[in-house]
Amino acid sequence: MTVSSAPGKVYLFGEHAVVYGEPAVPCAIERRATVEVVPREDDHVRVRADDLSLNGFTVEYEGRTGDDPDVDVPRPLVEAAMGYIDAAVRQARAAAEAPAAGFDITVRSEIPLGGGLGSSAAVVVAGIDAATRALGEPLEKRELADRAYRAEFEVQDGQASRADTFCSTMGGAVRVEGDDCRTIEAPNLPFVIGFDGGAGETGELVSGVRELRERYDFAAETLATIGDVVRNGEALLSEAIPETDPSPELLADLGDLMDFNHGLLSALGVSARSLDEMVWAAREAGAHGAKLTGAGGGGCIVALDRTPESRTALEFTPGCQRAFRAELATEGVRVEEA
Ligand code: MEV
């Protein structure tokens, strides 16, 4: 049996615009997906996925992927999760040159499905890592990130950047611009996350932004402006001392850029009332800045606040189902059991 885990992430800046070649800065957080893989004698793949959400609902799914799962969560989310697992299996088989390899797979995750915290990327990264190790063909991290990106690209009909999968593989803060992916130094950013209990459909949200971009020059300019926000944010991070608590001035400046980034994402139609309410609750409680994270449409916001105030305010916000603090995960994918 091999077990690997990989972290989820928040976007400090740059989701959606990254799909069009602008830079983005996602940061891995200490919420992990764990995938256990046991090779089988035949070529079947059996998947068991428990606790694929933060708030404790359980997905019981057993059988060849593609069978009808008996679940009490929205079907599209389960189908999406199974699609990612299938794609991860195809990548692992290809990487190990074992096209008929069969597996029993168990997935556990502390990351809400489709909530903007990179649940699919974490499952794909941990899944490919565990499966290739199970076949005796472990991958070097850059190749793993590339394979995971290809899996997401396939499931999301070509509408994926490398940001989520690279961040989940490497951990820490990363910078992604097209194919150029790097890890960057970052101070200990005090992330607070609010989760509305829902999820957005990444493919649809990315398509919606694409249509706006094709239709209106100002939508294309909005995406380019997000790129400018990211470059300003990167400049701020590069002046900070890594792995220390950031100064109040730095938090204020990063927060202003997060607020700006949220406004631009709202203009592109990917926010939601629940996300805006959580963003405002955090800001009014004194957060330095707050924005939606990930594809949007529902799911999570991320705020910067060292005090407990934003979290408390989010807990009392009607649209917020759960609020928590998230540490930067300095470790990306890791072997939990060899
Ligand atoms: C989704 O987590 C982030 C998007 O930018 C899509 C992507 O980068 O693949 C919306």
The CATH number of the domain holding residue 87 is 3.30.230.10
**109 shares a domain with 145:** yes
Q: Which atom of ligand 1 is nearest to the CA of 116?
A: 2
How many angstroms is it from 253 CA to the middle of ligand 1? 24
Give residues with Cβ within 8 angstroms of 263, minimum separation 6: none
Higher pLDDT, 182 or 243: 182
Ligand 1 pocket test, pick from 20, 25, 157, 161 with the greatest ligand atom count within 8 Å of Cβ, gives 161
When the pLDDT of each residue in the chain is averaged and rounded to a whole number, the result is: 91
265 known member of a binding site: no
Residue finishing a domain among 165, 185, 205: 185
**303 shares a domain with 167:** no
Q: What sign does the CA torsion over 216, 26, 177, 131 have?
A: negative
Residue finishing a domain among 138, 153, 185: 185
Residue finishing a domain among 130, 164, 185: 185
**211 shares a domain with 155:** no
* pLDDT for 158: 85
* pLDDT for 57: 33
CB 189 within 8 A of CB 246: yes
Q: Which atom of ligand 1 is nearest to the CA of 205?
A: 10
pLDDT digits (tens, 9 = 90+) for 271-314: 999 999 999 999 999 999 999 999 999 999 999 999 999 999 99
**217 shares a domain with 177:** no
How many angstroms is it from 23 CA to the middle of ligand 1? 12
* pLDDT for 45: 86
Tell me whether residue 334 is in a domain: no
**179 shares a domain with 195:** no
* pLDDT for 22: 98
* pLDDT for 75: 62
Q: How far apart are the C-alpha atoms of 31 and 54, rounded to whole Å?
A: 9
pTM of the model: 0.92
**230 shares a domain with 107:** no
Residue 274, classed as helix, strand or coil, is helix
**137 shares a domain with 210:** no
115 known member of a binding site: yes
CATH code, domain with 254: 3.30.70.890
Average pLDDT over residues 194-206: 91
pLDDT digits (tens, 9 = 90+) for 251-275: 999 999 999 999 999 999 999 999 9
Higher pLDDT, 233 or 198: 233
Which is catalytic among the residues 86, 129, 146, 164? 164
**307 shares a domain with 212:** yes
Q: Which atom of ligand 1 is nearest to the CA of 17?
A: 5
**268 shares a domain with 156:** no
| Residue 38 structural domain | 2-185
* pLDDT for 74: 62
**179 shares a domain with 204:** no
How many angstroms is it from 39 CA to the middle of ligand 1? 32
Tell me whether residue 80 is in a domain: yes
Identify whether 253 is a catalytic site residue: no
How far does CA 21 lie from the centroid of its chain?
A: 18
Tally of structural domains, the chain: 2
**266 shares a domain with 181:** no
Average pLDDT over residues 218-231: 98
For 46-79, the DSSP string reads: EEEEE--STT---EE--SBTTS--EESS-HHHHH
pLDDT digits (tens, 9 = 90+) for 104-139: 998 888 898 778 899 999 999 999 999 999 999 999
CB 76 within 8 A of CB 201: yes
pLDDT digits (tens, 9 = 90+) for 147-188: 999 999 998 888 889 999 999 999 999 999 999 999 999 999
pLDDT digits (tens, 9 = 90+) for 38-76: 999 988 888 887 655 433 333 434 444 444 454 555 666
117 known member of a binding site: yes
Cβ atoms within 10 Å of 322's Cβ, excluding its own? 17
Helices first, then strands: H and E counts in the chain: 9, 13
Tell me whether residue 336 is in a domain: no
296 known member of a binding site: no
Tell me whether residue 333 is in a domain: no
Average pLDDT over residues 5-30: 97
